[in-house]
Amino acid sequence: MKLTLASTLCALVGSAIGSASAQESIQSLTFQSLHQYQHYGFFFVMVHDDSIGPLYVPNAPAPPGMESMCESGDPTALVEAFTDVPGVRDVRTVPGALFAQGWENEDLSPLAAAGATFGVGSVTVPVDIPSGCRVTVMMMIANSNDGCVILNGENMVLEQTVNMIEIDAGTEQNTESCENIFGCLGLPATPTGPLCPCGARGNEVDPGNGEGFMSAHIGVGKRNNRVMIESDWRHTMVQVTAHATPPISSLTFESLHPYHHYGFFFVMVHDDSVDPLYVPDAPAPPGMESMCESGDPTALVAALTGVPGVRDVRTVPGALFAQGWENEDLSPLAAAGATFGVGSVTVPVDIPSGFRVTVMMMIANSNDGCVILNGENMVPEQTLSMIEIDAGTEQNTESCDNIFGCLGLPATPTGPLCPCGARGNDVDPGNGEGFMSAHPGILGRNDGILIDSDWRQSMVRVTANL
């Protein structure tokens, strides 16, 4: 009777749309790598009730489908084995991977191009786990013969963090030879050394002769192919945290102005310990000068890289153009692979539940103006207005000798769209106010720039997307 009740609870709670229980559902899991170079993939995810036993049982044979899961990172057979099984609410493959922090400078663009869910240091996976349900997640440990990490049928609660278990499926002998170890998730260009000692080589030969039972993985013992010795995996390699809302996967920026344009993007995902960048009447923080005078986020990214509480900080080359630009030639941006749009543009960004996001873009037709999303804790489908700010680092001469041109486009329109053409920020007049403030707008001081003095209405809106 107990199992029947649990099965009913897990099956029904998720369909109780609008109920208190449904609102308490877990909507995403964040996986954090605690290892310096290992990587893991792809994801097997199963939501189920108490009637489904744990997949990992020490000293028991591996269940059907676990062999391909832990030898080559392919969850297909494991998903098929649990599809339509009573007590299973959802079972699926999530193409993607978790990479250790050591991968931060490696080329992972093939995964991005394939639409995979992946991250360096951490990655968030959407999953609906109603109250009363359990969750099982597996990923292959890429630099191993038949190793996996598993979240073994846990009944998690919101904001709980649980350690995954490192297991040996017992289906293949631990030769530690690159002839038998699946390569770096099929990436066409892969690093060597401890990150990926076998390069892109696949699981070419299965030596068989596995132990025949599952067990805690003994680690890598340097039997072959210079795979780094790492014999003690009793410490945790991956932690999982449950969240109430699904992650935000992208932000859509909408221009509400007839002719202004903005770029490039500074994007930072962070926790509450990181202060807002824009504080009225305070001096501009390091890096904001080049951000708001010439649209270059490089120094701002450098200033915040490695700061505690910052989960991700980066430049996104691209721009947002007002609707008036719809007939202009923006092909140089397309050729450069920039992220841009006329009227609106969508930027991919992973914002797990509970994290804040800061985004800045330069207002191109200004001396030191920016729009900023100032450390907001957004939820999916929420729309907010960006703030128009004056960095206070340069005098508002409104002269084309001091105003950055139209994002460096070689052929640019004139008139209100781009009054200074492609001319750059040739001379910095200095004499800035010395503090940040709401931008006064364009007052018509010089060079025929259209008077546009009231920026109290919003110029750019941002919507968070699932």
Domain CATH number, residue 376? 2.60.40.2130
- Pair (86, 165) in one structural domain: yes
User: Do 157 and 232 reside in the same domain of the chain?
Assistant: yes
Residue 424 shares a structural domain with residue 313: yes
Q: Single out the residue in 243, 258, 293 at which a domain terminates.
A: 243
Contacts 24+ apart (CB under 8 A), 225-228: 225/176, 225/177, 225/178, 225/181, 225/197, 225/198, 226/197, 227/143, 227/176, 227/181, 227/197, 227/198, 228/37, 228/194, 228/197
Q: How far is CA 83 from CA 50, 76, 300, in A?
A: 16, 11, 48
CA–CA gap between residue 365 and residue 404 (Å, rounded): 7
Pair 148, 291 in one domain = no
How far is residue 180's CA from residue 317's CA, in Å, rounded to a whole number? Answer: 41
DSSP structural state of residue 308: T
Shared-domain flag, residues 9 and 155: yes
User: Which of 243, 275, 292 corresponds to the end of one domain?
Assistant: 243
The H or E element containing residue 88 is strand 88-99
Chunk the chain into consecutive blocks of 10 residues (it has 466) and report each block's average pLDDT, rounded to whole numbers. 41 39 73 87 94 95 94 93 96 91 78 80 90 95 89 93 94 82 64 67 62 87 54 74 87 89 92 94 94 92 93 90 83 82 92 91 89 93 92 86 68 64 59 88 67 70 92
| Domain boundary pick from 196, 226, 243 | 243
Q: What is the pTM of this model?
A: 0.65
Q: In what order do the strands lie in the sheet with 161-163?
A: 122-129, 26-33, 238-243, 161-163
Residue 372's domain comprises 248-465
Q: What is the largest CA-CA distance in the chain?
A: 81
Q: Are residues 255 and 225 in the same domain?
A: no
Claim to verify: residue 231 and residue 277 sit in the same structural domain: no
Q: Are 205 and 83 contained in the same domain?
A: yes
Tokens of 30: 């964040």
Per DSSP, the three-state class of 283 is coil
Show Cβ contacts of residue 331 under 8 Å, excluding neighbours closer than 6 positions: none
Question: Given this model, what pLDDT does residue 194 score?
Answer: 66
- Residue 197 and residue 309 in one domain: no
Shared-domain flag, residues 217 and 232: yes
Q: pLDDT value at position 415? A: 59
Same domain, 71 and 193: yes
Give me the number of domains the chain comprises: 2
The count of C-alpha atoms lying within 13 angstroms of the C-alpha of 68, restricted to the half-sphere facing its C-beta, is 12
Name the CA radius of gyration of the chain, rounded: 26
